Amino acid sequence: MSEEQNKKVTLKIYRTNYNKNDSSSYDRFEVSVNRWTTVLDALLHVKKYSDSSIGIRYSCRMASCGSCGMKINGRPRLACYTKISELNDDVIVCEPLSNFPRIRDLVTDFSQFFNHHRKMEPFVHNDKVSLDVGEKDELVEFEQTPEELDDYLQFSYCIKCGLCYSACPTVATDSSFPGPQALSQAYRYVADNRDNDKSSRFNIIDERHGIWRCHFAGSCSAVCPKGVDPALGIQLLKGHMLGLSKNEKKATKLRTKNKE
């Protein structure tokens, strides 16, 4: 085994139990890591062999479920998608996500985040199609061209991990602000040509603490592990609301050109 494969790092884990009003502290654990060891692997190793009481949420271990979001060395990341070797540090600090109410250790409460998401009515509104389907024959097929699909495809890759919400400086000061995830999902359905009720979605976001409070810091797009660009979605949505939807056509053209 090479020296790189036997590298030892210190995991500094944020510990507290808010339900018991514990004061917060950091516990340090020394872990032996390989080139491919992820932060989640290291945390699970510590949980298995050093301290089983560490509170951590995870599931798929492959950046699909969005459960293991946490602040790693000060930046919101997915623990399963972050290799320790890429952090270039001997001390790995794991903290709960900012802008979320904390429950215990690295586990945060996503209720408010999902409420914002739910408020955007994240499903296709289409008056022509009944939601009550009795018979198989009543099912309707929605047809789309690849270009129409391109208008919103990247926004449908969102896994609701909450990293963008945690990185957003507006959410930090304004808890009523829906956040980048919910707003980019609103855009995802506005840009979908199968949806024919844009105005009702506009009414939801066009309020005092709605879309206009986005300062375009762009940190949401910088931390997204799935390559979604919520900041772009928000700006395009603003363009739609101001009646400048040509912007969207330009962006689609640019995306198509880039692909070519």
Partner 1 sequence: MALLKLRESQIMKIHYLTAIAALFAVAVHILFRLIMPFGQSLAYPNVIANYHNIFYVLLLESILILISIHGFNGLRVILLELRQTPWWESTITILVLISMIGVIAYGTRTIVIAGGL
173 is an interface residue for partner 1 by CB under 8 A: yes
Rounded CA separation 193/141 (Å):
13
Q: How many residues bind partner 1 (CB under 8 A)?
A: 17
Q: How far apart are CB 205 and partner 1 at their closest, in Å?
A: 9
Stretch that binds partner 1, among 103-111, 119-127, 175-183, 220-228 (CB under 8 A): 175-183
- Please check whether residue 78 is in contact with residue 97, taking contact to mean a CB–CB distance below 8 angstroms: no
- Please check whether residue 98 is in contact with residue 76, taking contact to mean a CB–CB distance below 8 angstroms: yes
Interface characters, 20-39, with partner 1 (x: CB under 8 A):
--------------------
Nearest-CA neighbor of 11 among 122, 143, 105?
105
115 is an interface residue for partner 1 by CB under 8 A: no
Burial status of residue 114 (CB atoms within 10 A of its CB: 0-12, 13-18, 19 or more): middle
114 is an interface residue for partner 1 by CB under 8 A: no
CA angle, 215 then 256 then 160, to 5°: 45
Among 176, 199, 200, 256, binds partner 1 (CB under 8 A): 176
103 is an interface residue for partner 1 by CB under 8 A: no
Stretch that binds partner 1, among 132-140, 209-217, 218-226, 251-259 (CB under 8 A): 209-217
Contacts of 187 (CB under 8 A, 6+ apart): 152, 155, 233, 234, 236, 237, 240
Q: Which amino acid would we find at residue 222?
A: A
Q: Tokens 């855009």 identify what position?
A: 187
Stretch that binds partner 1, among 11-19, 48-56, 77-85, 205-213 (CB under 8 A): 205-213
213 is an interface residue for partner 1 by CB under 8 A: yes
207 is an interface residue for partner 1 by CB under 8 A: yes
Q: Tokens 């509170």 identify what position?
A: 55
Among 85, 194, 197, 202, binds partner 1 (CB under 8 A): 202
Stretch that binds partner 1, among 24-32, 125-133, 204-212, 216-224 (CB under 8 A): 204-212
- Please check whether residue 27 is in contact with residue 51, taking contact to mean a CB–CB distance below 8 angstroms: yes
Among 130, 206, 253, 254, binds partner 1 (CB under 8 A): 206
121 is an interface residue for partner 1 by CB under 8 A: no
Report the site for partner 1 in 124-143 (rule: CB under 8 A). Answer: none
Among 174, 194, 226, 255, binds partner 1 (CB under 8 A): 174
Helix (H, G, I), strand (E, B) or coil at 13: strand
In this structure, what token pair is assigned to residue 10?
């210190």
Rounded CA separation 193/145 (Å):
10
Q: Residue numbers of the site for partner 1 (CB under 8 A)? A: 170, 173-177, 202, 206-213, 241-242
